[in-house]
Homo-oligomer: A and B are copies of this chain.
């Protein structure tokens, strides 16, 4: 995963205040969200649906391209099982922004690039997407994926 752009301490303090959290908590929350994104990247590349599920809220929603929204853990799991049966990913995420908007909510905007292999045919081709994650902090203090959608940044196939 590519490193995020560093901001100044003053800017970070202002963002923490605007999210209603102390600076140390804000930095801990960002680290935790970055860790969720890194684990998600690894789980995708390992086709590991069980690991993906550890990152989602129970009522999480997964909105993959070419599918209706998958609402709740059971539907989300079925959707990832389908994805990993169909394709194998080799991708790297870059974080464009992580924005905490309240003590319990944050969002992240990322892009991912690499290769996708169609399992049925072995065809391997370049892949590039953009993603929007909404994270919720559980009572346990863990940050979970509450909503997640992506779309390709490649031009349409002719």
The interface of chain A, by Cβ under 8 A from chain B, is 20, 61, 63-69, 96, 101-102, 104-105, 107, 109, 111, 130, 132, 134, 147, 149-157
Contacts and interface: CB of A to CB of B under 8 A. Distances in A.
Given A67-B153, A150-B151, A156-B66, A61 B134 contact: no
Per DSSP, chain A at the interface is strand
Q: Copies of this chain, how many?
A: 2
A101 B66 CA distance: 28
Given A147-B109, A149-B151, A65 B65 contact: yes
B132 A147 contact: yes
A96 B109 contact: no
A71 to B, nearest CB: 8
25 contacts: A20-B102, A63-B109, A63-B130, A63-B151, A64-B151, A65-B151, A66-B152, A66-B155, A66-B156, A67-B153, A68-B130, A68-B153, A69-B96, A69-B130, A101-B102, A102-B102, A102-B105, A105-B105, A107-B107, A132-B134, A132-B149, A134-B134, A149-B151, A151-B152, A157-B157
Contacts of A69: 96, 109, 111, 130, 153
A134 to B, nearest CB: 6
Q: List 4 A-B pairs, minimum CB-CB distance, nearest first.
A: A102-B102, A151-B151, A65-B151, A101-B105
